[in-house]
Amino acid sequence: MRQRVLLFSFVLVLVLLWSAFDSLKVDYLILVNRNHSLPSYWDSIVNLVPTQSVDGEMVYVEEETLIHFRELQQDLLLKYDIDLQIDSAYRDYNTQKELANQLRAQYGVEYVNVYVAIPGFSEHETGLAIDFTLVKHKVLDKVLGHNDNKAYEQIHSILHKHGFILRYLAGKEVITGYGYERWHIRYVGEEAAKDIYERKITLEEYLNIY
């Protein structure tokens, strides 16, 4: 009898543990910024899939995010003849740390404080964020911010139709904690993206956490 009770208790614990784990789904509205770190369980639930960057390097993106990014690419190519490519996507903790140190040495502390997240607090660690680039103007557009304003306006105008938002808006630096980045997009799902785009707000404002 005692063995049956122990066996039942053991099975019950397994069921409860499985139920708790199964309930941990990828939250596409997860907030990761200077004040909110990535949850410790995130790596165990996010499904990262490989793809190629504009440089031909292997990068990883969350599965659903990549599906919708491919649809965005196709839409932009057909509508505006814009060839959108991935410059960078998922970064693990150590890669983010190395990047922060590299940019600090290259551009200084002030640049890093405005544009770079510290490890554990970077959206790139979620797999839901992508830094895109235009193939013809990779360096000029991303680093120096030259030219192609019309192309960026066209890109930004249809992001929400594919579930993406422009994450760091101009004039919202106090709220997001980062300077304007016209190349950094984040997947949140079509419903939220549409609302955020139409209201011209940030993810922080949408979630009322700022």
Cα–Cα distance, 101 to 118 (Å, whole number): 10
SS3 of 164, please? Answer: strand
Q: Catalytic residue numbers? A: 181
State pLDDT tens for residues 169-200.
999 999 999 999 999 999 999 999 999 999 99
* Domain chopping of the chain, boundaries: 26-207
State pLDDT tens for residues 152-174.
999 999 999 999 999 999 999 99
What angle is formed at CA 103 by the lines to CA 98 and CA 106, rounded to 5 degrees?
A: 130
Query: By C-alpha distance, which of 120, 130, 124, 117 is closest to 52?
Result: 130
What CATH number was assigned to the domain covering residues 26-207?
A: 3.30.1380.10
**Considering the entire predicted model, what is its pTM?**
0.82
The DSSP string of 85-103 is EEEE----HHHHHHHHHHH
Encoded tokens for 161: 């139709």
Is-contact 193 163, C-beta < 8 A? yes
Say which residues have a Cβ less than 8 Å from residue 110's Cβ, sequence separation at least 6.
none
Rg (CA), the chain: 20
Encoded tokens for 44: 């165990």
Within 10 Å of residue 122's Cβ, how many Cβ atoms?
25
Read off the pLDDT of each residue in 37-52 and give the average, rounded to a whole number: 96
Cα–Cα distance, 173 to 22 (Å, whole number): 36
